[in-house]
Amino acid sequence: MDCIINRRAEFSASHRYWLPELSEAENIANFGACGNFPGHGHNYELYVSMAGPLDEYGMVLNLSDVKHIIRQEVIEPLNFSFLNQAWPEFEQTLPTTEFIAYAIWQRLSPHLPLVNIQLSEHPRLWADYQGNAMEAYLSVSTHFSAAHRLALDDLSLEDNTKIYGKCARPHGHGHNYHLEVTIKGEINPRTGMIVDLVALESLIKDQIIEPFDHTFLNKDIAYFAQVVPTAENIAIHIRDLLQEPVRGLGAQLHKIKLIESPNNSCEVFCSSTAPALERLSGTTAQLVNV
């Protein structure tokens, strides 16, 4: 049986989103502050996932060798660089998070048995690439605060308490929910983007954050008048609200992850089949409740 191992690395670099064939006004309209001269920087966090059988020493690969390859092929050329000029491919395609992940895969795949490259630009934005042509995954993280009560209307308080415990108390309770939205789609060969990130973030804000934030979900969100607002049901509802609007941006909604507390989280995938990224996560629908 194969085992997946992961190696973390980091580098700091700057980039600028600017296409010379566009006017200044068009660049500003497309890229906003990301087009400001002379660029801006990030502390990138990289996770390289590899798979294979264990050797006679109990390892998939010697991690010292893995570290050397990642450093030589990726970290040394990119660390403290201006990415637009660091690699030839970034002269043709803007070095967005998703396209950098793609480019890193191309550099490492001749040397390592890759199954996933994950690159974080910052804690609220990251991309995954798994070697499937120009298809990649982009994830954005945001949050909202809301209260809820877990109870079925046709049951007594005693019976609801047997099912939901303290969460059935009559006046409810609140959480600071953290929401992760993952989309998948084709990387544009010129802009390096799956979708317009500003449009995606605005969509999530308009469809989810503004309606849900600082509400009592059972009373303020019509859907939850009939459906118990468990973390699972909230995640499913968010998925259903976002699927068509994300498709309208030219991408596909892939996964919703809702973190209710440090101990409880729920993941809902948007298809019945589980591609490689889902297998890395464990299951196609997962509740963590510790």
Q: Which helix (H) or strand (E) holds 162?
A: helix 157-164
Nearest to 239 by CA among 196, 184, 185, 182: 182
Sign of the four-CA dihedral 253, 276, 190, 87: positive
- CA separation, residue 122 to residues 10, 42, 232 (Å): 11, 7, 27
**Is there a catalytic annotation at residue 260?**
yes
Angle between helical axes of 231-248 and 197-204 (0-180°, round to 10): 140
Q: Exactly one of 89, 135, 167, 232 is catalytic; which is it?
A: 167
Task: Verify whether residue 3 is a known catalytic residue.
Answer: no
Q: Is 214 a catalytic residue?
A: yes
CA distance 256 to 252: 12
3-state secondary structure of 52: strand
List Cα–Cα distances, 20 to 25, 32, 190, 195, in angstroms: 12, 15, 11, 20
Compute and round to an integer the Cα radius of gyration of the chain.
Answer: 22
Active site residue: 98, 180, 260, 278, which one? 260
Q: How many CB atoms lie within 10 A of CB 181?
A: 24
Two structure tokens written together for 54: 């264990």
Query: What distance in Å separates the CA atoms of residue 175 and residue 254, rounded to the nearest whole number?
Result: 24
DSSP 187-221: PPTTT--SS-HHHHHHHHIIIIIHHHTTEEHHHHS
Positions marked catalytic:
167, 214, 260
